[in-house]
Amino acid sequence: MPRRLPLAAPLLAAALALAPAAGAQSYLPKARPVGGNPGPAHNYVCPNVDASGSALDCFLDAARHLYTMCRHVKSIEIIEHGYENSEAGTNSAKSESCVQKQTANIARPYGAALREARISRQAADGVKSLYEYWTASLAALKWQAGESDDDYRQRTTGVLGDLDARAAGIRQILAIVREHTTPPAAGVRGKAAR
């Protein structure tokens, strides 16, 4: 008599076949169920990078995406309370919470991007500089007294172009380094170690 597998076995085998390779996007925060809900199936931190994307690609996408998220939250506060009152009392609590959350979300992709960019000091410095610019830009989402609506919008949306330009510069540096360098052959590395 043939042995029957439990119903869960074929489902488990299918799930394992579809699961990404071990360590894929290990630079992302681990998904945690909230109230029994397993959470979204998509990548929240860097949604435009697929599972095969590099840590640097994720970080560069996350910088743009997470800044935009907090900019939208700040816009909601401004719509609710007006420019003058958007920072009064607890009116800015949502955007402050957003900045804290997104700073925590980008920490792992940032660290992984630094490790990936370490093949070039200029690229690593570019990643650090982009991160510093990103954090300063999040802090600068606050409306400045006397600033017109157009000035505020231009200042906060201009950051996206700056992030894109910095990302393109980092990618260009890494492309040049990869094009003009080759890793040592396996035999050469072994002889040097002796």
At 97-140, the pLDDT tens digits run: 999 999 999 999 999 999 999 999 999 999 999 999 999 999 99
For residue 31, tell me if it sits in a domain: no
Q: What is the C-alpha separation between 96 and 114, in angstroms, rounded?
A: 26
- The pLDDT value recorded for residue 42 is 52
Is 27 within the bounds of a domain?
A: no
pLDDT of residue 175 exceeding 60, the answer is yes
Query: Is residue 42 assigned to a domain?
Result: no
Does residue 150 fall inside a structural domain? yes
Look at 108 and 19; give whichever has higher pLDDT. Answer: 108
Number of domains in the chain: 1
Tokens of 78: 């401004």
Which domain, by its residues, includes 76?
55-180
* Dist CA 30 CA 50 (whole Å): 16
Does residue 11 sit within a domain? no
Sign (positive or negative) of CA dihedral 172, 173, 174, 175: positive
In a domain, 33, yes or no: no
pTM across the whole model: 0.74
Give the distance between the most distant pair of CA atoms in the chain.
84
**100 in a domain, yes or no?**
yes
Residue 171 placed within a domain: yes
Three-state DSSP at 34 gives strand
